[in-house]
Chains A and B, each alone.
Chain A
Amino acid sequence: EAGVAQSPRYKIIEKRQSVAFWCNPISGHATLYWYQQILGQGPKLLIQFQNNGVVDDSQLPKDRFSAERLKGVDSTLKIQPAKLEDSAVYLCASSFNRGGNTIYFGEGSWLTVV
């Protein structure tokens, strides 16, 4: 079974530029999560989708971050404009349904803002 796919793996941008990350969850998984992991910290949830609807985006900085999951499968996370403090790993995860007992993570997209 294929895992959670993410791209790009690495991205370096200048502050005030924009960047987009893509995620393809495990087939059949209705719930998709985007987490931000700053170096030396545990991951923190940015946004959670159930199919194509948003369940929780309370920690998403909506002035600069946006995410969508239009057809309930793939998702994109966009940052515009980027700030230095956005340097982090952006992890996508999926589970069969919300509250499920197995949540699987992708390899992450590593962002450096200079």
Chain B
Amino acid sequence: GEDVEQSLFLSVREGDSSVINCTYTDSSSTYLYWYKQEPGAGLQLLTYIFSNMDMKQDQRLTVLLNKKDKHLSLRIADTQTGDSAIYFCAEVSAGNQGGKLIFGQGTELSVKP
């Protein structure tokens, strides 16, 4: 079955790098996503990676995909207090004809000044 796991909390100091990790079980995953959710808000699409890639960089964000270990990570360089939020990893699998997202439980990132 499809399952996505994330650690629940991460605390870093402003200016440091943050690394948020995610593991998934479905080897037929086609796209993997990172969403950001601030308090009281919906989900903001940060970035996504196609399963035939192993890295994607977008400004301060770097996504690494290890397909063999079914491990995805999001690195935020020079983390700012405005990056404090919950980060969700999600996947879409090839076997899922509807294209629905399967989410992890979210990682709460706390950035201390």
Contact = CB atoms under 8 A, between A and B. Distances in A.
Given A43-B103, A99-B92, A105 B98 contact: no
Interface of B: 4, 30-31, 33, 35, 40-45, 48, 50, 88, 90, 92, 97-101, 103-106
25 contacts: A33-B100, A35-B101, A40-B105, A40-B106, A41-B106, A42-B88, A42-B103, A42-B105, A43-B88, A43-B103, A48-B98, A48-B99, A50-B98, A91-B43, A93-B43, A97-B99, A98-B97, A99-B97, A99-B98, A101-B48, A101-B50, A102-B45, A103-B33, A103-B101, A110-B40
Contacts of B45: 102-105
A44 B103 contact: yes
Contacts of A25: none
A106 interface: yes
B37 to A, nearest CB: 9
A13 to B, nearest CB: 19
A55 interface: yes
Given A101-B48, A106-B42, A107-B41, A42 B99 contact: no
B59 to A, nearest CB: 17
The 7 closest A-B pairs by CB, nearest first: A42-B103, A99-B99, A105-B43, A98-B99, A107-B42, A55-B98, A105-B42
Given A91-B42, A99-B99, A100-B99, 18 more contacts: A4-B42, A35-B101, A41-B106, A43-B43, A48-B98, A50-B98, A55-B98, A91-B43, A93-B101, A95-B99, A98-B97, A101-B48, A101-B50, A102-B45, A103-B99, A105-B43, A105-B45, A107-B42
Given A40-B105, A42-B106, A44-B103, A101 B42 contact: no
Interface of A: 4, 6, 31, 33, 35, 40-45, 48, 50, 55-56, 91, 93, 95, 97-108, 110
Contacts of A99: 30, 92, 97-99
